[in-house]
A and B are shown apart, each in its own frame.
Chain A
Amino acid sequence: MSTPDSVATLDGLMNDGRPDTLPSVLEAAKASMIELLSQAPFPPSAVRVTVGPVTIEMDWPGTAPDAGTALEARVVPAPAQTMPTPGDGPVLDHIHAPTVGVFYRAPEPGAKPFVSEGDTVVPGQQVGLVEAMKLMIPVESDRQGTIEEFLQPNGALVEYGDPLCSFVPADGR
């Protein structure tokens, strides 16, 4: 195999020790690969994706890596995440709607909300649900942090990707 022109390693996503990280790593790997392919000057002759730790390799035969033109490998965030906003204040992230539907903060009317503003959440913790066609689709945080503010009221009509709440990630990233 010739020297890869582009390598993206996602060790960070693999190192949190959770078994359910793999789907998100795969999703991120796929999104990253698609992004790289769409920006490539011409299609590669080979693409290899390995998982654990995740590596994406693309080969362009007969072309040596060129510092001026080589693609910069990067991980594209999955729709459930947004990149941190630069600035002086605390870094904000958001949790987004996993599908179109009606957003609820509690498991049933009158019940205690899954989480409240100011609560700390851990990866995989449910913070709400979206109902679509009588299916209750859980909304979970994919990282540790503190819920800052709910951006959608209980019972709001949301679409896929709408930000549901803002939170401050514990790792500041």
Chain B
Amino acid sequence: MFRTVLIANRGEIALRVARACRELGIRVAVVYSTEDTDSEVVRYADEAVRIGPGAAQASYLSIPAVMEAARRTGAEAIHPGYGFLSENADFAEVCAAEGITFIGPPPEVMEALGDKSTCRALMADAGLPLLPGTLDPVSSPREAEVLAAEIGFPVVVKAVSGGGGRGIGVAHSAAEFPAVYRETRRHAAAVFGDGRVYLERYLESARHVEIQVLADRFGNVIHLGERDCSVQRRHQKLIEEAPAPGLDEDVVAAMAEHAVQGAKAAGYVGAGTFEFLYDGRGRFYFMEVNCRIQVEHPVTELVTGVDLVHEQLWIAAGHPLRIGRQDVVPRGCAVECRINAEDADRDFVPTPGLIDELALPSGPFVRVDTHVRSGSRISVFYDPLLAKVTVWAPDRKLALARMGRALDEVRLEGKGIRTTAGFLRSVVDSGEFSTARHDTGLVGRLLEPRPVAGEGRVTAPSHAQQPPKAS
């Protein structure tokens, strides 16, 4: 096993990885920006190296700075967490060239799977079902219009290099298409430095279901079951759970089989996630592969008892998988809510600022992954994730009641800061979600202005009010 691992990330995932390292007797080194000088993980680590200013481009995304920190701390491996450099094939290559283990798949695998177009072609060859769409990037607006008409509306325009819910545009009709196409290309070029896009049929009401896999460098691949991540707003996940409620066991088994097949075909190594859309009528379609640990990994950990970061470290150290499929016995139900510093009443605008007082949930079967405390400053430089609250229960009904109770326990005081806890509570309490009849359109429907009976005017649901208590 490694003696020292450098964590090239920040926030809750940096602390999560640091804890796993500590449990395995691995020395913890971290990088940090000036904005994160007082962060929990800097306090926690055995060694911390200040690598740049708040702007991620000059700190967490600076390959020379991260590599210098690795050299200085004597790290034998780098854990990239999620986001930042976690799916950067160039970075993985630099690590390899410097003799440092990148904790993730090999650079060439990451490159093939990170390019959505190459990935779709690879997975089509491996027999995974794809939505109707283009395998190659679209070369011109005119060609795009013709192909979109052939695919049939609604059509989703996706950035070849996109990810994390960004670089996606949906056109519901031929009239809408040119503007959506132009805007997605422009956004992709600006954000990812790659304006190439491809087209796919858009499923209006689908479930987002993903399969967690673990693979070693000897070609062994297992899956750890599925997660349902259908509660999303603008393609950003808000609530995740395991197992996917209301899904036929055969459908999940077939999806998992395809994921293992895809991972083998790609030569995948490490922890990875295969994302699918399920149409509610027995059909599912492959979307993409996430070559990293994911934000929502705790729900899988709680139902399987497998520590995914431990397994990542074990595999990266060159060992064969130490658990087999037979060792993965899912039990009960786990639900995760992402508590963001955002104002749900004002279109989810981020609310940076200083946290004066903070109390996060605890109690039986409640796990909180966070990096903030009273006195923390929520920086405008980074994502607004404050905490992930994950609960476990023997069944979904109790898990949702437990989540409702946990969300009610979130208390935050700080000038200008709002959290999404109240809004998430209203989603958990909604009839569609609590009876597992939801899909990826749920949040949009809950936020839609709707007529108020007898008043003849429209209003948006208020999330400022205290949601009803769970019965």
Interface residues of A (CB under 8 A from B): 34, 37-38, 40-43, 79, 99-101, 132-133, 135, 157, 159-161
Contact = CB atoms under 8 A, between A and B. Distances in A.
9 contacts: A40-B416, A42-B416, A43-B349, A79-B53, A99-B64, A100-B65, A101-B64, A132-B67, A161-B50
Contact of B380 (A34, A99, A157): A34
B156 interface: no
A160 B380 contact: no
A40 B415 CA distance: 8
B317 to A, nearest CB: 24
Interface string B27-71: 000000110000000000000011111100011001111011101
A159 B51 contact: yes
Nearest to A162: B50
Contacts of B416: 40-43
A133 B381 CA distance: 25
Which of A38, A40, A79, A160 is packed against the most chain B CB atoms within 10 Å? A160
B56 to A, nearest CB: 13
B100 to A, nearest CB: 11
B50 A100 contact: yes
Interface residues of B, number: 32
B68 A133 contact: yes
A79 B72 CA distance: 23
Interface of B: 33-34, 49-54, 58-59, 62-65, 67-69, 71-72, 94, 343, 346, 349, 351-354, 377, 380-381, 415-416
A161 B353 CA distance: 23
B353 A132 contact: no
Contacts, number: 66
Contacts of B353: 38
Given A37-B380, A42-B416, A133 B63 contact: yes
B68 A100 contact: yes
B347 to A, nearest CB: 11
Contacts of A132: 64-65, 67-68
A159 B49 contact: yes
Nearest to B350: A43
A62 B380 CA distance: 25
A157 B69 CA distance: 10
Contact of B34 (A38, A79, A157): A79
A38 B380 contact: yes
A169 to B, nearest CB: 22
Contacts of A99: 51-52, 58, 62, 64-65, 68
Which 7 pairs across A and B sit closest by C-beta, in order of nearness?
A133-B64, A159-B50, A132-B68, A132-B64, A133-B67, A100-B51, A160-B52
Given A38-B377, A41-B415, A43-B349, A160 B64 contact: no
A43 B351 contact: yes
A101 B68 contact: yes
B67 A160 contact: no
A160 B72 contact: no
Contacts of B354: 38
Contacts of B351: 43
B382 to A, nearest CB: 12
A100 B53 contact: no
A97 to B, nearest CB: 9
A100 B65 CA distance: 6
A157 B33 CA distance: 17
B457 to A, nearest CB: 22
Contacts of B67: 132-133
B471 to A, nearest CB: 35
A132 B50 CA distance: 13
A135 B64 contact: yes
A160 B354 CA distance: 24
B54 to A, nearest CB: 8
A161 B63 CA distance: 18
A38 B352 CA distance: 6
Given A99-B62, A133-B64, 11 more contacts: A34-B381, A37-B352, A43-B349, A43-B351, A100-B49, A101-B65, A132-B65, A132-B67, A133-B68, A133-B94, A161-B34
A102 B94 CA distance: 19
A100 B68 CA distance: 7
A145 to B, nearest CB: 22
A38 B343 CA distance: 15
A47 B343 CA distance: 18
Contacts of A38: 352-354, 377, 380
Contacts of A37: 352, 380
A160 B59 contact: yes
A44 to B, nearest CB: 11
Contacts of A161: 34, 50, 53
B336 to A, nearest CB: 28
B343 to A, nearest CB: 8
Nearest to A42: B416
B412 to A, nearest CB: 15
Contacts of B352: 37-38
A161 B52 CA distance: 7
Contacts of B377: 38
A152 to B, nearest CB: 14
A100 B69 contact: yes
A42 B416 CA distance: 5
A56 B416 CA distance: 20
A132 B68 CA distance: 6
A101 B33 CA distance: 14
A159 B69 CA distance: 9
A157 B94 CA distance: 21
A79 B416 CA distance: 26
A160 B349 contact: no
A104 to B, nearest CB: 14
